[in-house]
Every structure is written in structure tokens, then in C-alpha cells.
């Protein structure tokens, strides 16, 4: 793995970034579902390292989620089938949001629903919450019945969803898409054309783990969402494809553990990155990445904006040795 120099004293780089209509003080975001409501990480994480926290998913009514077992480790990753457990939007506003707002980090709500009108109603309710700087449409969770396939596998379905939610809110709108598709580009274009401001790429990949002693799934469902290091090259490819086709503001999500991982996503064109599974292992990894990113940019004498989208294409191969 590439090594990143430690921060030298003085002269810190400006790590603020414009992510569509949002301006973040750092390009590091806590991914939804991996950081709770932020309050669970008090005393463990340095919140000043985050540009934003995408809060745990919220639905109109409380959801119990799937029964256990709901998490299983895999080589270089983790499978989960939590099932979007949450207390519902009323409790979210009364109990969770006020405490999260005291953390001093911009907050983004992650919306989930069974029907388009569920998302629309959530957007209407949360549009007036000043503690929220944006809303994220979660159209891609693979851990509920028909969850990921309902909206985010066809351009027409995601276009209808985003278009209707756009009418219900003036807040910046992030669309989190599924990687479990043949081609991300038509879905990305449809999301933007329908009124999405930012893309979050991508959610977990469908995976499976079987106990060889019992023959049963190690989860309470057949399949779960795979996250962690194993998916990083796949997520990076998806980000690059979407940037190349749309030049959209994108949050790169998937398998980011080290600073070098985040830098790869910036070079590919992501304007921010979100940390997920790594926070279960290293809850203060955001601070480490921010410090090392600052050092990386200082050493090279470049800004974050110069780094973003600086991909130079395939490796140059010298074939001169093959000449007679």
C-alpha cells in the first residue's frame, strides 16, 4: 500500500470543498448506517475532521429491521442485513436530531421508503428542519424486500422518484445509487436530470455467506450487503464511470480505509468521500485521513481541487525492449 507522510508543522492546506450546492470544511463524510446518529461516537471520534455526517436511515414509521444474525465478517469485508432499523421520523426529529445537532457537524438525513409517496412525505416533513443541510435519497438498500431493485435498477424508476422528491424540498438532494446494476451511467444521468444535485456512489454489493456445517446462510436472509476493503476497486470504477459520463459532484463510497484509498477516489473525480465499515474498527480514522491528506497535498504543492479529477489514464507501457 502507498505510504503517506505524516503532517509537518504549519501551513495547513485548505481542505474545504464544494460538493454541488454544499460547501464542506473537509471532504470526509460519515456514511449512513455506519455512524449511527453521530452521538454514538462521542468520545471516540474527532468530529472536527468531518465535513458532514449522513445520519442513519429514517422512514415514516418505525422499522424493526431484520432478525439476527444480521452481520457476518468476510475476507476483507463485512456482510450486513440490518434492514433499515430506525425509530421513525417523529422520534428522529424529537429525540435524535437535536442531540446530533449539538455535535457541530453538518447533518444529512438518509430517506427510505416503500413507495415514492413515502419519500415525498419524508422530504416534506424534513424540509423545515434547519439542522439538516441536505437530504439523501436511499434508493439502493439491498437488505429489505425489493429494496434495491424497486427504484435504482431502471432509469425510469429512479427518475420518477427523484423528480417527485425534488418537488417536496428546497434542500440539496443527494441520490445514493445501487452498484448492483449492469451500467451505472444511465441511472446517474436520470438522477441528475430529475433534479438530484449530488450522487453518492455507491451502496453495498449483494453478497452471500454459507455455514458449511449447517448449510444455512450465516445471515437471517439469503443475501446481505457487502462492504469493506473488498469492494473498493469496484466502487472506484463506478465513480470514474459516472464522473466521465456526467461530471457530476460525487461522494465516493466503498471500502475506504486508508488515506491512499481516499486519494484514489479524489483522483478518479469524487469531490468527497465517505467512511463506512472502517469506523467500526478505527472510529477516529477520519482525523488520520484528514491529517495525512493535508501532508500529501503539502508535499506535492497542490490543492485539493487540483487533485480532484486528475486521473491520467492507463499506465504507459514501454515496449522498446520488444524491438529487435
Among residues 272, 264, 197, 231, the alpha carbon closest in space to that of 31 is found at 272
Cross-strand pairs, 108 = 54, 134
pLDDT one-digit tens code per residue, 178-227: 999 999 999 999 999 999 999 999 999 999 999 999 999 999 999 999 99
Q: What are phi and psi of 107, to 5 degrees?
A: -115, 140
Maximum Cα interatomic distance, the chain, rounded to a whole number of Å: 76
Residue 141 is among the residues annotated as catalytic for this protein = yes
Residue 139 has what pLDDT? 87
Report yes or no: 34 and 280 within 8 Å, Cβ to Cβ: yes
Residue 148 has what pLDDT? 42
Residue 323 has what pLDDT? 43
Q: Give the integer Cα–Cα distance in Å for 266 and 251.
A: 9
Among residues 118, 258, 119, 260, the alpha carbon closest in space to that of 176 is found at 119
Residue 145 has what pLDDT? 56
Among residues 49, 50, 47, 196, the alpha carbon closest in space to that of 135 is found at 196
Per-residue pLDDT of the chain (324 residues; tens, 9 = 90+): 455 544 444 568 999 999 999 999 999 999 999 999 999 999 999 999 999 999 999 999 999 999 999 999 999 999 999 999 999 999 999 999 999 999 999 999 999 998 999 999 999 999 999 999 999 999 887 655 544 456 878 999 999 999 999 999 999 999 999 999 999 999 999 999 999 999 999 999 999 999 999 999 999 999 999 999 999 999 999 999 999 999 999 999 999 999 999 999 999 999 999 999 999 999 999 999 999 999 999 999 999 999 999 999 999 766 555 444
Do the strands 173-176 and 272-275 form a parallel or antiparallel pair, or are they unpaired? Answer: unpaired
HEC letters along 309-320: CCCCCCCCCCCH
Residue 150: all three cell numbers together: 424497486
- For 65-110, the DSSP string reads -PPSP-EEEETTEEEE-----B--HHHIIIIIHHHHHTT-S-EEEE
Q: Is the pTM of this model over 0.85?
A: yes
Q: Give the integer Cα–Cα distance in Å for 324 and 101.
A: 69
Annotation: CATH topology of 17-311: TIM Barrel (3.20.20)
The residue from 141, 202, 211, 316 that is catalytic is 141
Percent helix, strand and coil across the chain, each to the nearest 5: 35, 20, 45
Report yes or no: 143 and 150 within 8 Å, Cβ to Cβ: no
Amino acid at each position: 500500500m502507498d505510504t503517506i507522510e505524516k503532517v509537518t508543522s504549519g501551513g495547513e492546506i485548505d481542505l474545504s470543498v464544494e460538493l454541488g450546492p454544499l460547501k464542506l470544511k473537509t471532504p470526509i463524510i460519515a456514511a449512513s448506517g455506519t455512524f449511527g446518529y453521530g452521538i454514538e461516537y462521542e468520545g471516540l471520534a474527532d468530529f472536527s475532521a468531518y465535513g458532514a455526517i449522513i445520519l442513519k436511515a429514517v422512514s415514516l414509521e418505525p422499522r424493526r429491521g431484520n432478525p439476527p444474525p444480521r452481520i457476518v465478517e468476510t475476507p476483507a469485508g463485512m456482510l450486513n442485513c440490518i434492514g433499515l432499523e430506525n425509530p421513525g421520523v417523529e422520534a428522529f426529529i424529537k429525540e435524535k436530531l437535536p442531540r446530533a445537532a449539538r455535535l457541530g457537524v453538518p447533518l444529512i438525513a438518509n430517506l427510505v421508503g416503500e413507495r415514492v409517496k413515502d419519500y415525498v412525505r419524508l422530504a416534506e416533513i424534513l424540509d423545515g428542519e434547519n439542522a439538516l443541510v441536505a437530504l439523501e435519497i436511499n434508493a439502493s438498500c439491498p437488505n429489505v424486500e425489493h429494496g434495491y431493485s424497486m427504484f435504482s435498477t431502471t432509469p425510469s424508476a429512479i427518475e420518477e422518484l427523484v423528480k417527485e422528491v425534488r418537488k417536496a424540498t428546497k434542500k440539496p438532494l443527494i441520490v445514493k445509487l445501487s452498484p448492483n446494476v449492469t451500467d451505472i451511467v444511465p441511472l446517474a444521468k436520470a438522477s441528475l436530470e430529475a433534479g438530484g444535485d449530488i450522487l453518492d456512489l455507491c451502496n453495498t454489493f449483494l453478497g452471500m455467506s454459507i455455514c458449511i456445517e449447517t448449510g444455512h446462510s450465516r445471515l437471517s436472509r439469503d443475501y446481505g450487503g457487502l462492504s469493506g476493503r473488498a469492494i473498493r476497486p469496484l466502487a472506484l470504477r463506478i465513480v470514474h464511470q459516472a464522473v466521465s459520463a456526467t461530471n457530476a459532484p460525487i461522494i465516493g463510497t466503498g471500502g475506504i480505509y486508508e488515506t491512499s484509498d481516499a486519494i484514489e477516489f479524489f483522483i478518479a473525480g469524487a469531490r468527497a468521500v465517505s467512511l463506512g465499515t472502517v469506523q467500526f474498527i478505527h472510529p477516529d480514522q477520519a482525523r488520520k485521513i484528514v491529517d495525512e491528506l493535508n501532508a500529501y497535498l503539502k508535499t506535492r504543492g497542490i490543492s485539493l481541487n487540483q487533485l480532484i479529477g486528475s486521473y491520467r489514464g492507463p499506465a504507459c507501457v514501454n515496449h522498446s525492449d520488444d524491438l529487435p
